[in-house]
Chain A
Amino acid sequence: MSSLEIYLAILVMAVVNYFTRVFPFIFFIKKEPPLYIIFIEKYFPPVIMMILIVYTLKDIDFKIYPYGFKELLGICVTAFLHLSIKNYLISIFGGTIFYMALVQYL
């Protein structure tokens, strides 16, 4: 691509990206959101949180050794730290360092 084409492509992506994020705010600007939106508003965050955990692991091949074992162990350590110490920085740093050690030394 020439540099002009690259800038145009960036402009298009910037506009489309903003549109995807602003869409519900435009759609429900005046009227009170209907009941099904209030339902989604309340119960969608826990659903998406679960989905995002799996999403961050999408490039792991669970079919080959060690079958995602390191990732599952990393998740367990993070969850254990969080349930016991209840400090989210300790949970996240601890889980990440544990996982890095698994990936780099094992």
Chain B
Amino acid sequence: MKYEKELKKAFSISIPVMMGYIVLGFAFGLLLTSFNYPWYLAPIMSIFIYAGALQFVAINFFNAKAGLIDIAIASWFVNIRQSFYGLSLLKRFKNSGNFKPFLIFGLTDETYALLTTIKDDESLSKKHYYLFLGLLNQLYWIIGCTSGALIGSYVKFNTAGLEFSLTALFVVLCIEQYKNLKNIYPFIIGAISSIFALIFVSSDKMLIVSIVSSLILMFFLRKKVEA
């Protein structure tokens, strides 16, 4: 295959996401079918929506028979943080041509974290490497959601704690970010604003409050952040 190297690299860095997405997706599929919704909604939702938190909230929308306008507004608030992600990728995605709409569609928290941390390998075709990474991550999510919906209620094994793989992934990426940047201020800003939000805001609004307050802090401490 022409882009085998790109695929291999994308696969190797996506393994932690695979662990996390299969577990979380599995939990989603299991929850969905526990309310007697048909199993095939799991692949449909993971293909077309592809957003963890939003898909869990969607089950509440179905149960509550929510109106479409309410759904649109609530969905926007659940995922509004992702509007900030693209800002760090404007340059990177600039020359990705036909792949660009899909690369943008695939911008989950985890894919964003990998894309902004792993250094570009100049020998690789970037746009293919980004494409494979996006495709693989979504594939893991589809597999997780679908298998949870299909077999979730029949199998029993103790996966308690496996979801920590996503925490561990972000810890590792955070350390890598520090190695690139060598400035502690952005990390302190992230820690303060998220711990503040964790304490004072309900958990469904925690992420957006952290992001907005950290942006304000960033501009306030601009000189130190850039030092």
A positions within 8 Å CB-CB of B: 1, 5-6, 8-14, 16-25, 28, 33, 36-37, 39-59, 71, 74-75, 78-79, 82-83, 88-89, 91-93, 95-96, 99-104
B positions within 8 Å CB-CB of A: 12-13, 15-16, 19, 37, 41, 44-45, 48-51, 54, 58, 61-62, 65-66, 68, 71-72, 75-76, 79-80, 82-91, 93, 100-101, 104-105, 107, 109, 112-113, 116-117, 158, 160-178, 181, 186-187, 189-191, 193-195, 198, 203, 206-207, 210-211, 214-215, 218-219, 222, 225-226
B10 to chain A, nearest CB (A): 14
B149 to chain A, nearest CB (A): 14
A-B contact pairs, 9 of them (CB 8 A): A6-B62, A9-B62, A9-B66, A13-B58, A21-B79, A53-B167, A59-B203, A82-B172, A93-B19
Q: Choose one: A11, A13, A33, A79; the contact of B171 (CB below 8 Å).
A: A79
Given A44-B88, A78-B168, A100-B162, check contact A36 B219 (CB 8 Å).
yes
10 more CB-based (< 8 A) A-B contacts, given A21-B107, A25-B86: A9-B71, A22-B105, A24-B85, A39-B218, A46-B190, A47-B186, A49-B113, A50-B174, A92-B169, A103-B161
Q: Does the CB pair B175–A83 fall under 8 Å? A: yes
Q: Does the CB pair A78–B171 fall under 8 Å? A: yes
**A residues in contact with B189, CB < 8 Å:** 47, 50
The answer for the CA separation of A93 and B172 in the assembled complex, in Å, is: 11
**A residues in contact with B62, CB < 8 Å:** 1, 6, 9
Given A25-B90, A55-B206, check contact A82 B164 (CB 8 Å).
no
A96 (CB) vs chain B CBs: closest residue: B165
**B residues in contact with A92, CB < 8 Å:** 16, 19, 165, 168-169, 172
